[in-house]
Structure 1
Amino acid sequence: MLLNRPVKGFLLDITGVLYNTSSNGGTAIEGSIEAVKRLYEESKVAFVSNESSHTRQHLLDRLTRLGFKLNMNDIYTPAPVAIDIMKKNNLRPYLLVHKDCLDEFIDLDTSNPNCVLMGDAENDFTFHKMNEAFKVLLNTKNSKLFTMGNGKFYQREDGPCLDVGAFGAALKYATNCEHEIIGKPNESYFMTAVNKMNLNKDDVVMIGDDIVSDVGGAQKIGIRGISVRTGKWRPEWESHPDVTPDFIGNNLKEIVDMILDNKVK
């Protein structure tokens, strides 16, 4: 990685970088707790996630139980942004989201939907709900599909799982609808976190396990992108056809230590 510019701040993905998720809450990736602690002590850090199957509070509680010490205000998830977009544009979404997140959208008008808002619904991605979303997009003039993230899959401890982008692609294929991504790799999503740290995009790096949304998305707007060989990382991404990371590290701790100790050239 070329460090001809200092690194003053770090943007971190959460799932697959800090911890691996599972049905019982997950486990911290080796060294990640220490890495986060060091970042809070020696740099600036924000956690930029496409997590949409849990609320921010639930995510913070889970990470705290695993041993992390994070500030809620440093965690960015798509749901608050999505709610703001719905309200400002008088949109009434058909909600295709995880049941654990429904309360987060309780203030939205969902009567007579004129768009679809989709998150990682996991087992709530039923045929009935997908078909209801399909009908809204097909039968409503100027309807739009909003997805909280656009990942193809993510990694659980028991194996890979389809992510929201895969289900969104099915609806786009069936309806030719307009699609807007809320979350990574949307430029404004990255920049919200960068601006909150009072830094420029040249000052920060993005570290993630998704080579397209995390690394490629960051690089497209001038943020250095670092891949980590944890989470859903695939060996074939070492020579990805579209994205060349600025650096590839074995885990978060290795990357953080190398940058803060000025060992990455």
Structure 2
Amino acid sequence: MIKAIFFDLSGVLFEGNHPIEHAAKTINRLEHGGLILRFITNTSRKTRQQILSELHAMDFQIQEDQLFTAPEAAKSWCIQRNLSPYCLVHSNIKSEFEEIETPPFNAVVIGDAEHDMSYENLDKAFEVLSTGAPLIAIGNNRYFKDEDRLHLDTGPFVKALEFASEQQAIVTGKPSTAFFEQVIASTGCKRHEILMIGDDVISDIEGARKAGLKACLVKTGKYQPGDELKISPPADVASDVTAAINHMLPAI
């Protein structure tokens, strides 16, 4: 029996600045049905408060303690290990890392830096990594969808730095099992009692499965035809988040 549901945000609840049809009503219905809801995102262009404000503006009445973000997981990972990282992150979240981004740097944190993902900044990150410092990736997604087209996400740049520094990045967001376990612990539920709904077959669906959760892929957001076949066994798939709930939890 499903007692908790984890939702990805962009591409599942909304696309760009527009909520996906019926998504807000579905979330409210689940809240009133007594299910435990968590919202987990690799988004690294916005602070927690920016994310919450935008969700509230779209009528998603999500509480702060229900939201888990990959940038916060990366910051916590560094603090726990007393690291001072060079942070190649978006200007919107740069202030979130100010307290730990103090030279000399002994790590690199990389996220979706958008316009700041320049050769100069990537080369600075490589300079730090060349000393043997670890590479911490907020996420490892290949691409994301914003409005009407796909855009490069953090993953391709993570791969470039991995190749140059001859090391494997430590991913602190999805599909990291440790990230999922942090969210699982907040629910008090057993793994088989939790469902993950996402639009990324690797980060959301395969990541959730590896953490022991049930999962359903939606055909909104970044979904591309055939994505469900990229993992084995193929992912359960639904047209959107409302259809996913009706398919996976027919009694709700």
TM range (shorter): over 0.9
Residue 257 of structure 1: which of 221, 246, 249 is its match? 246
Distance in 1 separating the partners of 2:151 and 2:63: 28
Pairwise CA distance, 1:110? 2.2
Tell me, which stretches of 5 or more residues in structure 2 are unaligned? none
Determine the structure 2 residue equivalent to 1:28. Answer: 19
Cα RMSD over matched residues? 1.5
Q: CA deviation at 1:243?
A: 5.6
- Aligned counterparts of 2:43 and 2:50: Cα–Cα separation in 1: 11
Counterpart contact for 2:137–2:171, Cα < 8 Å? yes
1:101-136 CA deviation, whole Å, 9 max, x = no partner? 011112114211111101111121111111111111
- Provide the rounded CA distance (Å) in 1 between the counterparts of 2:13 and 2:231: 26
Alignment equivalent of 1:19, drawn from 4, 8, 14: 14
Local SS of the residue matching 1:235: coil
The 8 Å contact of residues 86 and 101 in structure 2, kept in 1 or not, is answered as no
Aligned position for 1:125: 117
Does 2:75 correspond to 1:70?
A: no
Preserved contact between residue 143 and residue 177 of structure 1 (Cα < 8 Å): no
Which residue matches 1:248?
A: 237
CA deviations 1:161-194 (Å, max 9, x no partner) are 1111111001111111241001111112112112
Q: TM-score, normalised by structure 2?
A: 0.95
Could you list the structure 1 runs, at least 4 aligned residues long, displaced by more than 4 angstroms after superposition.
none
Instruction: Provide structure 1 residue ranges, at least 5 long, that are not aligned to the other structure.
Output: 1-5
Distance across 1 between alignment mates of 2:191 and 2:144: 26
1:7 maps to: 2
C-alpha distance in structure 2 between counterparts of 1:188 and 1:172, whole Å:
20
Q: Percent identity?
A: 30
Opposite residue 188 of structure 2, the aligned amino acid is N
Q: Aligned equivalents of 1:35 and 1:214: distance in 2?
A: 20
Amino acid at match of 1:262: A
Which of the residues 161, 166, 181 maps onto 1:191? Answer: 181
* Contact 1:96-1:116 at 8 Å conserved across structures: yes
Match of 1:211 among 198, 201, 205: 201
Q: How does 1:14-163 map to 2 (within 5 A)?
A: 14-21=9-16, 26-42=17-33, 43-138=35-130, 140=131, 142-163=132-153
Code of the aligned partner of 1:251: D
Q: What do the CA deviations read for 1:181-210 (whole angstroms, capped 9, x no partner)?
A: 011111121121122111011101111000
